[in-house]
Structure 1
């Protein structure tokens, strides 16, 4: 493991600037809206292919920041996620107003523009909401709720904090993809299981206080209120077309999120200790990727092994791990999420890696069938 990056280097804006590259996606989606045609493909081309190419150019980032660095030394990183929220809201609804009141775009082109906006909402918006929801102050958590409401997936906060982090790598976590489970089976399963498990987890918290699930303190009321407000604003701006385009970007964003969820833990399971108990979460229970450019785009989300090991660390402080400590993806998320859409290709690349991981970390387990066939009971 390399030496820590000194705090004085983290304080400089130059060190943080590569993470601000996400802002360049905003003019790209506007170029598509104004030019039409193939220009509407600029956002997905940038996030999926440009950053994959940049990973090849810039290689791996193996340096780690001192995890004890104070927030005061991270202002340029913290400002990025806070600044993105109003920018995202303004971009989405201004784009909606422009596209629904212009004559030069065909219906297909309008859908294409909001497909691109959905890629931004999923790649950047939901990802930044993930960073914000893990913070302890109410302001940042509210910012995270706003970003999730923009894609009608507010329950992700409850599911992620109360279910995923607690049960990752076990049958009780819906988003831990099972060995040999293709994405096209995984996706419809998690859509309903995550919503149900999130509501169940919040209801269980209220039940411990002898309160019903529909008590006003249930955050689902806030989730539904924000989502309804944004849908109403879309209708006010663009009528039924505005609502339809809003739903397009939300659907694309959710698809992007669950693609990443699929990649992050595919085939990795915690050892069952008996009586329904599992070992503690360790770095080797998540796939790690140290690819520099895609980690700029995704604010170090690919350092996922450390995120699960220390969930409250801010993104610039997340640590990367060696191959001895955590399993490594062969490419960054832009490439791996595309591969996940092609199950035979995905299995060819990833199944041997899962089997190797099993031999390395759990040589004592001879029968993996119970882990492979494990069901997803809802948390009680």
Structure 2
């Protein structure tokens, strides 16, 4: 099912998704269902897998059944829509939800003897919680208010990934859809190869960017004004406290949860710009990022669950625009499902390449100069898809 809406005057515009954004609160709460059902209903390991099954099975099915929404708010209504405090309060409310969910998961792991597959289930659901935290940090970190920026840091600190606050805003948005960006996947690059490039690359870019800023400000890189160090200190205090309470054996579990949380961001980054390339200008710089430099998805349920993250094209073209007013545009590179369904596809690289390489070629008009290739596979891909070698070298 696909819905469209014609523009409406500001006076009559009603956001039909206004209360559906509460799913962005409710879906992250699913991580609590497994431990709570185990403790208060019956001690069955199956309960612990429910959050993961919901994310990777139920959400893609709901996206398929409910369909897409191509409607946009009229531009004359956007100032009032963005000024409406309700939408900000929804994001604020998610911060304690995520902290509570993470702490309950860790408490459960620290106080229950579980088989390895039970521990794995809780690690995955808790890491999923951190993934939602990264998404919230993404939304809040772009905003100008000090409150929202600090809430972003506090949330990102849960997964020891506070450097994302710097890396994404000042690194990824600058370099997106170019070979210089470790967070932009290349055509022919599997998600498993990408993760080893993206995770360390993101941290080092964040540190370099903040070190440059500290130098410009005449401060030491170790200053408490360093926005990589600020959330890191929160993370260190949190993890040290949890290890002190539950013992050193909690350390590998916390590290695995943090890794799975970081991987949620990595897999989102992988699908958001796969193979897309901004044109390099004569002066060596790249053209301004446009909506067609990101993959877009209008699938309803996963957008409700992710604060419209999947309208990624408008986000990169207009980074400060709030989630409730992000738009769809015609002729964008489009994903066949929401992010959760695409994650499953990415886990099987041959299937991913089979589906997405053809879509990529269609999106760029089979123009190799608009493709960000995995360089080691460029010639092979050019031959496979019978692309013009001359234009590729131009």
Q: Same fold (TM over 0.5)?
A: yes
Q: CA deviation at 1:246?
A: 2.2
From the superposition, tell whether residues 54 and 371 of structure 1 become closer, same or farther in structure 2 (CA, over 3 Å).
closer
| Inter-partner Cα distance in structure 1 for 2:17 and 2:370 | 49
| Inter-partner Cα distance in structure 1 for 2:88 and 2:335 | 27
2:47 aligns with 39
Unaligned residue ranges in structure 2 (runs of 5+): 377-394
| Inter-partner Cα distance in structure 1 for 2:86 and 2:28 | 14
1:25 aligns with 30
| Inter-partner Cα distance in structure 1 for 2:13 and 2:5 | 17
1:373 aligns with 375
2:383 aligns with none
Unaligned residue ranges in structure 1 (runs of 5+): 375-380
| Inter-partner Cα distance in structure 2 for 1:210 and 1:161 | 22
From the superposition, tell whether residues 349 and 371 of structure 1 become closer, same or farther in structure 2 (CA, over 3 Å).
closer
Q: Is the 8 A contact 2:364 2:371 kept in 1?
A: no
Alignment of 1:242 with 2:244, yes or no, is no
| Structure of greater relative contact order (alpha carbons < 8 Å, 6+ residues apart) | 1
Alignment of 1:353 with 2:359, yes or no, is yes
Q: CA deviation at 1:257?
A: 0.9
Offset from partner CA, 1:303-331 (integer Å, 9 cap, x none): 00000011011111111122x2x111111
From the superposition, tell whether residues 81 and 36 of structure 1 become closer, same or farther in structure 2 (CA, over 3 Å).
farther
2:93 aligns with 83
1:334 aligns with 340
SS at match of 1:9: coil
How many residue pairs get matched? 366
1:252 aligns with 260
Q: Is the 8 A contact 2:82 2:324 kept in 1?
A: no
Q: CA deviation at 1:94?
A: 2.9
SS at match of 2:249: helix
- TM-score normalised according to structure 2 size: 0.86
From the superposition, tell whether residues 39 and 279 of structure 1 become closer, same or farther in structure 2 (CA, over 3 Å).
same
| Inter-partner Cα distance in structure 1 for 2:115 and 2:144 | 45
From the superposition, tell whether residues 41 and 354 of structure 1 become closer, same or farther in structure 2 (CA, over 3 Å).
same
Aligned pair partner of 2:141 in 133, 143, 147: 133
| Inter-partner Cα distance in structure 2 for 1:72 and 1:179 | 36
Alignment of 1:119 with 2:128, yes or no, is yes
Q: Is the 8 A contact 2:311 2:327 kept in 1?
A: yes
From the superposition, tell whether residues 65 and 30 of structure 1 become closer, same or farther in structure 2 (CA, over 3 Å).
farther
From the superposition, tell whether residues 356 and 241 of structure 1 become closer, same or farther in structure 2 (CA, over 3 Å).
same
- TM-score normalised according to structure 1 size: 0.88
Q: Is the 8 A contact 1:149 1:226 kept in 2?
A: yes
Q: CA deviation at 1:89?
A: 1.2
